[in-house]
Amino acid sequence: MKIATAAYPLDVLTSWSAYEDKLAKWVGEAAAQGAELLVFPEYGAMELATLAGLDVAGDLEASLHAVSDRMPDADKVHVRLAAEHGVHIVAASGPADTDTRPVNRARLITPTGQIGVQDKQIMTRFENEVWDVIGGNNLQVFDTALGRIGILICYDSEFPLLGRALSECDVIAVPSVTETLAGYWRVRIGAMARALENQCITAMSSIVGAAGWSEALGTSYGAGGIFCPPDTGFPATGVVAVGEINSPGWTYADVDLAQVAHVRADGVVLNRRRWTMQHGRDTAAINVRLR
């Protein structure tokens, strides 16, 4: 399949039609290049808060609920575009209200109109201590016409056991937003590590540029990237494709899921299969005094 991962700038939207036009342009461009799986970034939906006015968009609490209110309509736009272009879309995540506090929710939308929901599992300090966003549903393995797809939202990609829960996936999408280059590299390293240990493809997307109207987002640094196990038939670097830092647009890569299956079955190394060998050993470290 061909994957497109976004380096996506946030805009001040003047109308709902402006949002529809922006999304149609992005999806249409990727589809025209033959992309079948499109990955938008974490909290990319926050630009919807500007439709309620900059005072709402700049208020941390108000912006959460303003975006949550718009998400059902945003999903309808994604469903229409996915059907029109015959693509699968990991829609930009955003806050979704629950009975208690909002969760950070991404959706996988198919050309047939099905919507799979994946919530972030582990909150960053800002989400936890300032926004009071909470973890949501369990991790999901989505069985699609393209293959098995999972989603680890940003920080989630930095935790090996969350990645292991998606070890049946051929592709793991990693929507992200990071306010520093260090944050970008933390997520990228996490995405590459998950590709190594699960012997799969990971597809990272990022928000890029300034969103001065948002106290939460400010300026973001990132790039699109598609990563792989550095094994037979794949690049030795573990990098299939990567975009230029903070350059808006799509990063594309063709990936062969038959090659994923081959590496898992008969690779130079067998990280995914050998994971369970850890459980047969005493993995507790021993404190050895050398002074």
Q: Give pLDDT, residue 216.
A: 87
What is the pLDDT confidence band of residue 242, given thresholds at 50, 70 and 90? very high
Helix or strand or coil: residue 11? coil
Q: Give pLDDT, residue 291.
A: 83
Angle at 136 between CA 135 and CA 142, to 5 degrees: 125
Give the bridge partners for 153, in sequence order: none
Q: Give pLDDT, residue 276.
A: 83
Helix or strand or coil: residue 106? strand
pLDDT at residue 283 is higher than 70? no
Cβ atoms of 37 and 8 within 8 Å: the answer is no
Residue range 127-153, pLDDT digits in tens: 999 999 999 999 999 999 999 999 999
Nearest residue to 122 (alpha-carbon basis) of 159, 149, 95, 151: 159
Q: What is the number of alpha carbons within 13 Å of residue 83 lying toward its C-beta?
A: 10
Q: Give pLDDT, residue 6.
A: 98
Residue range 78-112, pLDDT digits in tens: 999 999 999 999 999 999 999 999 999 999 999 99
pLDDT at residue 62 is higher than 80? yes
Q: Give pLDDT, residue 228.
A: 98
**In the chain, % of residues over pLDDT 90:** 92
pLDDT at residue 278 is higher than 80? no
The pTM for the full model equals 0.96
| Alpha-carbon Rg for the chain in angstroms | 19
Per-chain mean pLDDT for the chain: 96
Give the start-to-end residue ranges of the domains of the chain. 2-278
Between CA 184 and CA 224 the distance in angstroms is 10
Residue range 4-35, pLDDT digits in tens: 999 999 999 999 999 999 999 999 999 999 99
Beta strands in 40-137 (DSSP E): 88-96, 103-109, 115-119
Choices 3.40.50.2020, 3.90.700.10, 3.30.530.20, 3.60.110.10: CATH for 2-278: 3.60.110.10
pLDDT at residue 285 is higher than 80? no
Q: Counting Cβ atoms within 10 Å, is residue 287 exposed (0-12), middle (13-18) or buried (19+)?
A: exposed
Give the bridge partners for 249, in sequence order: 7
Structure tokens at 105: 């929710």
